[in-house]
Amino acid sequence: MQEIAVTFNSGQLLLEGILAIPQGDGPFPAVVLCHPHPLYGGSMDNNVICGLSEMLAGASVASFRFNFRGVGGSHGEFDQGIGESEDASAAIAFVSVLAEVDARRLGLAGYSAGAGFALPVGCADPRIKALAAISPPFTMFDFDFLKDCTKPRLLLLGSRDDLIPAGEFLEFCRHLPEPKEYETVEGADHFWWGYESTLAARVTAFFTAVL
């Protein structure tokens, strides 16, 4: 895997990101990775995001992780989710024109608040073919838009997540239209410490199957 530090524009702001390219000959399918809440320490260096990037590369899938505005070296400041959704859209646009990437096979994954910021964008953007929501925070965001989304979707939750009730999660997922996959991972909490490989393998298997 080769990791390349890049910058890209989101409106008037300059954001930073890391493009992970698998070994071998491309172009590769690719997944845009969106990190947790900026105000609670979320960044593209998050354990879940980094673990997923590495696992995807091992399966010959490129990934692009980036810092939302105001995080790390990305310009700007937190914008209550509005600007962050624009950042996700800008990241998709950036990845879609890269020579190393097959623009016909793009996915998007959001972890925690990253799912709240980015998945509505991914549902609406025809370039995104599949979506993954990791620990989607139903208490902070309205995820009803997923009921009108017909793209393949994967939703995952740790069984010990103390922010999202497992019963509420499962009930919501049961009422989503197909195609969908969802499950709770026994023993994992909201931060997935010690379960990064289990999570990354599940998400990678999903994207390799649908992209």
Q: What does DSSP assign to residue 40?
A: G
Q: How do residues 11-43 score in pLDDT, each as one tens digit?
A: 999 999 999 999 999 999 999 999 999 999 999
Pairing of strands 153-158, 128-134: parallel
Q: Which residues of 135-171 are buried (b: 16+ CB within 10 A; e: fewer)?
A: bbbbeebebeebeebebbbbbbbbeebeebeeeebee
Q: How do residues 76-101 score in pLDDT, each as one tens digit?
A: 999 999 999 999 999 999 999 999 99
Gyration radius (Cα) of the chain, Å: 16
Structural domain boundaries in the chain: 2-210
What is the mean predicted confidence (pLDDT) over 149-164?
Answer: 97
For 72, the 3-state DSSP assignment is: coil
Q: Which two tokens stand for residue 171?
A: 């009930």
Q: What is the DSSP string of 117-148?
A: HHHHHHHH-TTEEEEEEES--TTTS--GGGGG
For 31, the 3-state DSSP assignment is: strand
Query: Which of the following CATH numbers is that of domain 2-210: 3.40.50.1860, 1.10.10.10, 3.40.50.1820, 3.40.50.150?
Result: 3.40.50.1820
pLDDT at 118: 98
Label residue 144 by pLDDT band (50, 70, 90). very high
> φ, ψ for residue 95 (rounded to 5)?
-65, -35
What is the mean predicted confidence (pLDDT) over 134-162?
Answer: 96
Measured CA to CA, the distance from residue 111 to residue 34 in angstroms comes to: 6
Q: How do residues 42-73 score in pLDDT, each as one tens digit?
A: 999 999 999 999 999 999 999 999 999 999 99
pLDDT at 46: 98
